[in-house]
Structure 1
Amino acid sequence: MKRKIVTINEEKCNGCGLCVTACHEGALQLVNGKAKLVSDSYCDGLGDCLPECPTGAITIEEREAAPYDEEAVKARMQARAQGNTTGHGHGTAQPQTAKLMHPYGQQEQAPRKETASPKAAPLPCGCPGTEAKTLARKAAPAPVPHVPSPDTPPARESQLRQWPCQIRLVPVNAPYLENVSLLIAADCTAYAYADIHQDFMRNKITLIGCPKLDAVDYAEKLTAILQAHEIKSLTILRMEVPCCGGLVNAVKTAMQNSGKIIPWQVVTVRTNGELVEE
């Protein structure tokens, strides 16, 4: 049948992923850094993705295409939702134990310690790198006073309070997500902004991701987290580049879907490391 349907100009597409988040039918996904129409039958032709494209790569054309299949779309979205909550690995998941640590100490330069929690929840996959844990510090002995060398910068302690930190890998039911302030940061911010640990990560649980490189809908995972836990506040740390807008949209969608009113703010980092004044 001849009908209206989305078409994408790959030369104009910058791979920001905003259209993927905006498409409620899941008809678009990023493939090799470019937005692609997964199937004609998933696209309703209404063009919800059009306003999100910063480069004008998406248009609506009228051509021969398979009819829109609402049932197929529902099945696809359900499968995606299950995939985001059950994990990222393949094969049978091996249950592991999440580790919960003691509360933070008061000393700035203290060693980290990890202890198991009896209330640990199973992890989404068997990969040791995704073992959920809270990173805590116990009080260290008072340092011996000394005169710092002018050539030696002062040592700084990491403010990462949990593992894993990737949005895709964090278990929705991780105990360290309860009653905390969340920092949701774009991957590149850690490299662009030198003082991210002290200025943004301190006293927060940090979740990171890149909407351009990860072909997933963060909104689904973040919605599940907000629904499962009491969150004190949300800080979104993004780069000034257009593709980072997908992270902001995902958080907005998650708050709307969760039905919770949570204090939130967006902070933008320039590529030269400066903060954008808003």
Structure 2
Amino acid sequence: MIRKLIRIGKEKCNGCGACADACHEGAIDIINGKAELVREHFHDGLGDCLPECPTGAISFEEREAPAYDEEAVKEAKKKVFAKNQAMSTHTGCPKLDQVDYSEKLTAIIQNNNIQSVTIVRMEVPCCGGLEIAAKKALQDSGKFLPWQVITISIDGKTIE
């Protein structure tokens, strides 16, 4: 079928990963330092990644591609953690990313066997968004999990 998909110009891509972070479906990965649309059937055609690219490497094109598979996207989101992996780290910057992390975190908590949550943030005010998003995700997940916040000072020390 002919679909509208993104095209990532490798000559302009600087490998920053902003597009992969913006892609809520997980269609984009960074491979050998460049962004690639690796799962065409995960691409919903909305292009959330376009405005995030600082180099203008992403555009739309129409081409032959498999249909968008919403069920496959949902299943992939359930498999955030590798089998038997004890811990997973997720990072973000609420000031620069300008995205609400709570929805993704809620899905991770709901769809996985999470035992506890540790939020590590800097003491600067803008990092408070991570703490707020994690608390909202815990609440929205409907699970009652132990959680803690560790605050790091601007000189790298843990604040008690």
Cα gap change, 1:54/1:236 in structure 2, threshold over 3 Å: closer, same or farther?
A: farther
Matches within 5 A, 1:133-172: 167=89
TM-score (norm 2): 0.60
CA distance in 1, matches of 2:52, 2:133: 18
Residue by residue, what CA displacement relative to the aligned partner does 1:53-76 show, whole Å, maximum 9, x if unpaired? 100111111111111000111111
CA distance in 2, matches of 1:22, 1:42: 13
Structure 1, unaligned runs of 5 or more = 88-123, 126-165, 169-183, 186-218, 238-247, 268-278
The structure with more radius of gyration = 1
Q: 1:18 is aligned with what amino acid?
A: A
Matches within 5 A, 1:139-218: 167=89
Structure 2, unaligned runs of 5 or more = 93-103, 110-114, 138-148, 155-160
Residue by residue, what CA displacement relative to the aligned partner does 1:6-25 show, whole Å, maximum 9, x if unpaired? 11001111110111111000
Tell me if the contact between 2:121 and 2:131 (Cα under 8 Å) persists in the aligned partners. Answer: no
Residue by residue, what CA displacement relative to the aligned partner does 1:224-263 show, whole Å, maximum 9, x if unpaired? 6xx94575x83189xxxxxxxxxx99x9577435417x9x
Cα gap change, 1:47/1:258 in structure 2, threshold over 3 Å: closer, same or farther?
A: farther
Partner of 2:32: 32
Cα gap change, 1:255/1:2 in structure 2, threshold over 3 Å: closer, same or farther?
A: farther
- Given the alignment of the two structures, is residue 234 of structure 1 paired with residue 121 of structure 2, yes or no? yes
Equivalences, count: 122
Identity %: 44
CA distance in 2, matches of 1:69, 1:20: 18
Structure in which a larger fraction of residues adopt helix:
2
Partner of 1:60: 60
TM-score (norm 1): 0.36
- Given the alignment of the two structures, is residue 256 of structure 1 paired with residue 115 of structure 2, yes or no? no
Q: Which has the higher contact order (CA 8 A, sep 6+)?
A: 2
Q: Which runs of 4+ in 1 moved over 3 A?
A: 227-231, 251-255
